[in-house]
Structure 1
């Protein structure tokens, strides 16, 4: 067990060193994954889920739907509990993942904030 702990300590140390020489702000999704300690499996599940939502978004958009709030709710509900939906959307948007879907989610959130700030 000591050898495994040593490997984990080394890996953690190496990641810390790399994060100091790389501008992690250029890679917000990777930064999010590291900061919230997502596993490869959790990352793959998240990306598969977003891919499915993106396909649903494209289909609904093609069919003329204008309100995609249900997709945002689905995203937030299915997102790994380690992640904040707003931060995740912003990171995905900044890094260029699913740009139309993330822009739509951001618009929905901005509209919601605007409506509820007035009250």
Structure 2
């Protein structure tokens, strides 16, 4: 019974990898990153909440006349899931048009 379950899990993982090769991930690089880094639903939700908080801070700082957002990037990096790398995450979000204004500012510092 347990061996059968493991065999099914291995087959599902294999099929998942094959499906990733079939799908045009050029349009969905952040989604591909989620799968490649094996993030769960809660981890993605936490990431999206982090982006919302950072985006709100960006808007507040812009309204106050800030021009340098490196400290905001540093805060983002410290709170980012350890499975994710900052540069790769920022660039994949930009390519998938997620949090464009925020990621554009961050991209100035990671490129």
TM score, norm. by length of structure 2? 0.88
Runs ≥4 in structure 1, deviation > 6 angstroms? Answer: none
Q: Which deviations, in whole Å up to 9, do the C-alpha atoms of 1:56-102 show, x marking residues without a partner?
A: 10111112111111110011111111111000000001100111111
Please name the residue that 2:64 is paired with: 63
My pick for the range that moved more, 94-103 or 10-19, is 10-19
Give the CA deviation at 1:7.
4.0
Please name the residue that 2:100 is paired with: 99
Where does the alignment leave 5 or more consecutive residues of structure 1 unmatched?
111-119
My pick for the range that moved more, 61-70 or 9-18, is 9-18
Please name the residue that 1:36 is paired with: 37
TM score, norm. by length of structure 1? 0.83
RMSD: 1.5
Cα separation, 2, equivalents of 1:47 and 1:12: 25
Cα separation, 1, equivalents of 2:108 and 2:66: 15
Give the CA deviation at 1:3.
4.9
Please name the residue that 1:23 is paired with: 24
Cα separation, 1, equivalents of 2:88 and 2:72: 17
Where does the alignment leave 5 or more consecutive residues of structure 2 unmatched?
none
